[in-house]
Structure 1
């Protein structure tokens, strides 16, 4: 059955401008490392050099490389004094710049001879070789990931300053799978998420859950259509929200965007495909501005085949990478199997008729 639509559709650019108006970065907060994963770095501490001095990278004999020129198993080089044995991690003795394996030095009582040459730095971990002096844990405006946590832990940093927008999700009964998906994406993006399920699909029950007192962004999921059981728009109106219902976006035409007071709100459809499309097209740019995130990565590849689009409505295509090209999987309507296979998504502006086969396009990765 064809879904009924709102009487008019708001251009995607207009809806995004409504959401972004007056929105700035949220204040940084300090979080323990485990809670900072996925959040956007803000004011990262500058680390001390690691290691702070030259150290032995392997177990062996600490020596000076210039003293070993010509040494080999056929022409052992006698040493005037016994070399110093070092374990991996030990500070290098003064004057030594290499570490030879145990078998490269023969020791007999007070006498020692070397059976191999070495290059300066062989077997040595240089000062600052792991972490350069005054390096940041992560680049400001980029997500905190496992690599950043590794640096922080090595440097004994226990907390990081991040931007973590607070998101409240209100789920209308019947859209649980979509709510769980969006909640997972939001937490992976570093948001502080509170998910709440409305008691019923009635407008009064939904309106009761629309509390914006402790959030930076409010999402509703489900009930955004114009069917008899769709009451999300009525609930938003009851809470005094100002919003545009119906977007010139496919999938996602029954979504809405606006504000409750100063808090931006986005009403996502209950179906997974339209909800994800609205998440990509509207919610991610809003989150990025709140978190002061650097631009997301795009991958520039030619299309394996033509992508057609209708002028007047923005459409999002799902793409899979195949043989260094983008293979279109779905445009406008997103079956679940296409969502599962997709590596990237491509926004086709409302003014555009699509892209020809072989034309290079910039697509956003589904997972960075």
Structure 2
């Protein structure tokens, strides 16, 4: 049976603007380092200096460089007492500002003589050389990655302040593979994801699963088209949601977007390609607003081939990087092999007819 489309399509920009104007960043929370990984940093707490004091960077003799001027193997400098021996990581003794190698000091019983000069800071790790005092573990608005976790652990912090939106995904029977894809993408984006199954594809079962009491964003997957078993849109209406159904977006025309109470909500198609397109073009901007994320990075490269697009509907092209150029993989309809190969995606505005071969375009990376 041919799928029926919504009677009219809402421009993507119009739907997105209406959604974003009602969405504010959620409050930061303190999470353990393991839980904070991948979340968007809120910029706190500030880390103490590391190392907290000057330390030995190498094994050797701790001395004062000013006391060693002129010392050499031809003119050894006798010491009044044995110098302190330090291992790498030890706190530098008071009055010492350099560490000499083992063979730079000749020891004979209680007597010692220095055979080389030293330079202030030689073999020393200065206070704050790894982490400056009051540095943030991760810049506010950016994902907490391995480098941020390294800094936090080195400074002795066990928690970070992050924004972690709570996402509830309702799976309509028949769209499980797509739902799992969206859940994986959401977790990678730093969301706290819970998934729920509608009992069946009927309006009542789907409506019962649309609970927004403990989430910041609601998604449904499947049942948003015009087939006889597609009841998600009617379920949203039954729950009193305010939304538009049908976006001028290809793929993803049967998606719906709006609000259920005060919670932003989107109904994604059940097929992987249209659902992924709606996730990229519609849901990610909502996630970024809720997380107070800084703008996502784009990579600019020339197109290896022309991309043609129809005026009046926004389209997303999947791209692969080949020989320092973007190679178009799919526009309009996305086979699974194109999704699997894609390195980036390009949003073609509804007012645009496409891009010429060789034209430089800004594409968003699929994986950051």
Q: CA deviation at 1:250?
A: 0.8
Structure 1 residue 242 and structure 2 residue 242: aligned?
yes
Residue in 2 aligned with 1:139? Answer: 139
Would the aligned equivalents of 2:9 and 2:248 in 1 still touch at CA under 8 Å?
yes
Alignment deviations for residues 215-272 of structure 1 (CA, whole Å, 9 cap, x no partner) = 1211000111111111111111111122211111111111111111222110001111
Residue in 2 aligned with 1:286? Answer: 286
Deviates more, 1:181-190 or 1:267-276: 181-190
Residue in 2 aligned with 1:273? Answer: 273
Would the aligned equivalents of 2:68 and 2:77 in 1 still touch at CA under 8 Å?
no
Structure 1 residue 316 and structure 2 residue 312: aligned?
no
Structure 1 residue 79 and structure 2 residue 85: aligned?
no
Residue in 2 aligned with 1:350? Answer: 350
Q: CA deviation at 1:67?
A: 4.9
Alignment deviations for residues 282-301 of structure 1 (CA, whole Å, 9 cap, x no partner) = 11101111111111111122
Q: Provide the rounded CA distance (Å) in 2 between the counterparts of 1:107 and 1:303.
A: 69
Deviates more, 1:318-327 or 1:124-133: 318-327
Q: What's the TM-score, normalizing by structure 1?
A: 0.94
Would the aligned equivalents of 2:43 and 2:137 in 1 still touch at CA under 8 Å?
no
1:1-368 matched pairs, under 5 angstroms: 3-65=3-65, 67-68=67-68, 75=74, 77-81=76-80, 82-368=82-368
Q: CA deviation at 1:104?
A: 3.4
Structure 2: which 5+ residue stretches go unaligned? none
Alpha-carbon distance change, 114 to 351 in structure 1, aligned in 2, over 3 angstroms: same
Q: Provide the rounded CA distance (Å) in 2 between the counterparts of 1:69 and 1:302.
A: 60
Alignment deviations for residues 155-209 of structure 1 (CA, whole Å, 9 cap, x no partner) = 2222222222221110011111111111111122222222101111111111110
Would the aligned equivalents of 2:269 and 2:275 in 1 still touch at CA under 8 Å?
yes
Deviates more, 1:345-354 or 1:31-40: 31-40
Q: Provide the rounded CA distance (Å) in 2 between the counterparts of 1:36 and 1:164.
A: 8
Q: CA deviation at 1:122?
A: 2.5
Q: CA deviation at 1:80?
A: 2.2
Aligned length: 367
SS in 2 for 1:248: strand
RMSD: 1.9
Q: Provide the rounded CA distance (Å) in 1 between the counterparts of 2:304 and 2:111.
A: 71
Structure 1: which 5+ residue stretches go unaligned? none
Q: What's the TM-score, normalizing by structure 2?
A: 0.94
Would the aligned equivalents of 1:302 and 1:361 in 2 still touch at CA under 8 Å?
yes
Q: Provide the rounded CA distance (Å) in 2 between the counterparts of 1:185 and 1:161.
A: 22
SS in 1 for 2:247: coil
